[in-house]
A and B are shown apart, each in its own frame.
Chain A
């Protein structure tokens, strides 16, 4: 009987012990480091909020913040509508028999390693020999230097994002669509609503929890994006690319921490990143009730 009291603590303890060592301690230590100017393994100088102040006058950091936001906005307004359309198509009763095949196919890009995906896409975005420009050429459209020109950095990543993430988000939307009863739409139709109206006034509002979820996931995803720009922009630049065109927040942390060995500065970037993601997750928790999806 006595052991029954101790047992649950023993059962849950591995996680908390491992987290204390490999999660909590590094996080607190990062906060401590972020107040120091440290390069390499040496002892640093205490600079109070110096790193944070420098960050906001660091043009590369601002660029990374801008690029990350640009990518997030692009994901929300380009990738998610495409995902919603795919979901509506997948929800059609006409394709009942092929649904499994379609959903599996759209799931494939997500479970393929980001590195493999990025490697594949070097042959898609190549200026001369790439599939994308070949396609544009065949339609007599202008071609672009996707990987070389800084202004195409983020659009290139968004195009890759459509390919990789539209499918999975379509599956999220699909699970939302399936939970909406057909009777509601039938009722709207009987009341004289056309298809568009019944979608806009009945279906879409009911998809709000799923929509909010995918929007927050898209934003968090843009802060975590690392492997794709690392390959497409070239490792030489640590994933920043020509003119920092593909420089994302996580890459900037990596470059500072592991290329320049500016440990304190990198930790400060990590903390800003954490605060942003923490706020986003709290927003999601506030608006998104568990169990409304799936």
Chain B
């Protein structure tokens, strides 16, 4: 009975994992197929031969390398800015008492309840006015810091003892030095989680880049991929190759830092509501 239970549980989860992996696997397989081969029955999970032309064409026919750079550049800058501004703001809320603190903090929480779609049209008009349409600025500046990031950093910095900060003050350290020399090094674990969440969030962001980026050399990967699907022709082979290549950094992150950090991040993220 016990062994049967064990087998049923194991098999159910294994089937779940199989279903999870299958579309990924099929995407990779199809990236090595010709378009004609993708449209062949019965469905085959092994490409006839390793057809690399999809990958070649991806770099030849659209500025894929450039888009890869755009995504990496935007996500990296956004991650650095978010970490700096969120940890600074989080420190302000966690370790100081000031007059407007409660008001500002509640305001910060309220902003998290407002969906970004509301201001989409005016924000676009503003970008147009700033002449930021089709530039990195339109994506990087409005996304430089998130309320969630501050909330997240504040939660982790609350546990830093005041005594350490006070003794540094007595030694003549400036407030910014306390932040950069004491508080930041003590918060590396949370900073790591925030960095991963920000990087993947920016890497996968679609709607806003779709709206503000129009030339293919400025596009990020998700927007660039959509240019391979137009009304006249859908280049499945290239789409699958591009999708696979654009997922690799995220896969590396998941394997490198492990699911623990991710999962801790999302469970704490869950608390923001």
Q: Which residue of B lies closest to A117 (CB)?
A: B23
Which residue of chain A lies nearest to B175 when distances are taken between CB atoms in the complex?
A7
One of B117, B179, B211, B236 near A11 (C-beta < 8 A): B179
Docked-complex contact A281 and B121, CB < 8 angstroms: no
**Residue A23 lies at the interface, judged by CB distance under 8 Å to chain B:** yes
Is B51 among interface residues, defined by CB-CB distance under 8 A?
A: no
B23, B114, B144: which contacts A18 (Cβ < 8 A)?
A: B144
Report chain A residues within 8 Å CB of B9.
89, 92, 94-95
A282 to B207, CA, bound (A): 26
**Given A89-B12, A113-B204, also A11-B121 (CB < 8 A):** no
Nearest Cβ on chain B to A123's Cβ, whole angstroms: 6
Q: A15-B145, A281-B273 are in contact. Are A119 and B85 (CB under 8 A)?
A: no
**B142 nearest CB neighbor, chain A only:** A22
Contact present for A282 and B92 (CB under 8 Å): no
CA distance A112 to B175 in the complex (A): 40
Q: How many residues of B contact A (CB 8 A)?
A: 97
Interface string of A229-262 (1 = CB under 8 A from B): 0110011100000000000001001100110000
Chain A residues near B145: list those with CB within 8 A: 14-15, 18
CA distance A217 to B272 in the complex (A): 11
Contact assessment for A235 and B268 in the assembled complex, using a CB-CB cutoff below 8 Å: no
CA distance A108 to B240 in the complex (A): 17
Is the CB–CB distance between A294 and B271 below 8 Å?
Answer: yes
B117 contacts A273, C-beta separation under 8 Å = yes
Report Cα–Cα, A224/B176, bound state, in Å.
Answer: 38
Interface Cβ pair total, 8 Å cutoff: 290
Q: Could you tell me if A119 and B240 are in contact, using CB atoms closer than 8 angstroms?
A: yes
Q: Which residues of A contact B243 (CB under 8 A)?
A: 115-116, 119-120
Residue B267 at the chain A interface, CB threshold 8 Å: yes
Contact of A113 among B116, B246, B259 (CB under 8 A): B246
The reply to whether A22 and B141 contact each other, CB–CB distance below 8 Å, is yes
Counting chain A residues whose Cβ lies within 8 A of the other chain, the interface size class is 35 or more
B117 lies within 8 A of A253 (CB): yes
- B3-42 interface with A by 8 A CB criterion: 5-6, 9-10, 12-13, 16-17, 19-24, 26-27, 30, 38-42
Main secondary structure on A side of the interface with B: helix
Do the beta carbons of B118 and A30 come within 8 Å of each other?
yes
Q: Is the CB of A22 within 8 A of B273?
A: no
- A254 touching B206 in the complex, CB below 8 Å, given contacts A3-B175, A8-B98, A11-B89: no
Closest to A291 in B: B271
The segment out of A46-54, A64-72, A124-132, A180-188 that lies at the interface is A124-132
A163 to B19, CA, bound (A): 8
Stretch at the interface among B53-61, B62-70, B185-193, B224-232: B224-232
A25-B122, A123-B236, A128-B41 known; A90 vs B113 contact (CB < 8 Å): no
Residues of A within 8 A of B5 (CB): 94
Residues of B within 8 A of A117 (CB): 23
A60 to chain B, nearest CB (A): 17
B20 touches A104 (CB 8 A): no
Is A222 part of the binding interface, using a Cβ–Cβ cutoff of 8 Å? no
A27 to B123, CA, bound (A): 9
Q: Which residue of A lies closest to B146 (CB)?
A: A15
- Contacting pair B273 A284 (CB below 8 A): yes
Taking the complex as formed, is A266 at the interface, i.e. its CB lies under 8 A from any CB of chain B? yes
Bound complex: CA A41 to CA B128 (Å): 10
CB distance from B149 to the nearest CB of A (A): 9
- A55 sits at the interface (CB 8 A): no
Contacts of B231 in A (CB 8 A): 234, 236
| In the A-B complex, the 9 residue pairs with the closest CB atoms | A26-B119, A11-B92, A8-B96, A294-B267, A113-B204, A26-B122, A7-B175, A29-B122, A22-B142
Interface residues of A (CB under 8 A from B): 3-5, 7-12, 14-16, 18-19, 22-27, 29-30, 33, 41, 86, 89-90, 92, 94-95, 98, 100-109, 111-117, 119-124, 128-129, 131, 134, 163, 167-168, 171-172, 175, 213, 216-217, 220, 223-224, 226-227, 230-231, 234-236, 250, 253-254, 257-258, 263, 266-267, 270-271, 273-274, 277-278, 281-282, 284-285, 288, 290-291, 293-294
Binding site for A on B (CB under 8 A): 5-6, 9-10, 12-13, 16-17, 19-24, 26-27, 30, 38-43, 85-86, 88-89, 91-93, 96, 98, 100-101, 104, 107-108, 111, 113-126, 128, 141-142, 144-145, 147, 150, 169, 174-176, 179, 200, 203-204, 206-207, 211, 221-222, 225-226, 229-231, 234, 236, 239-240, 243, 246-247, 250-251, 254, 258-259, 262-263, 266-268, 270-271, 273
Given contacts A19-B111, A22-B141, 11 further A-B contacts (CB under 8 A): A8-B92, A8-B98, A95-B9, A95-B10, A100-B259, A103-B263, A113-B247, A122-B239, A124-B26, A171-B267, A274-B117
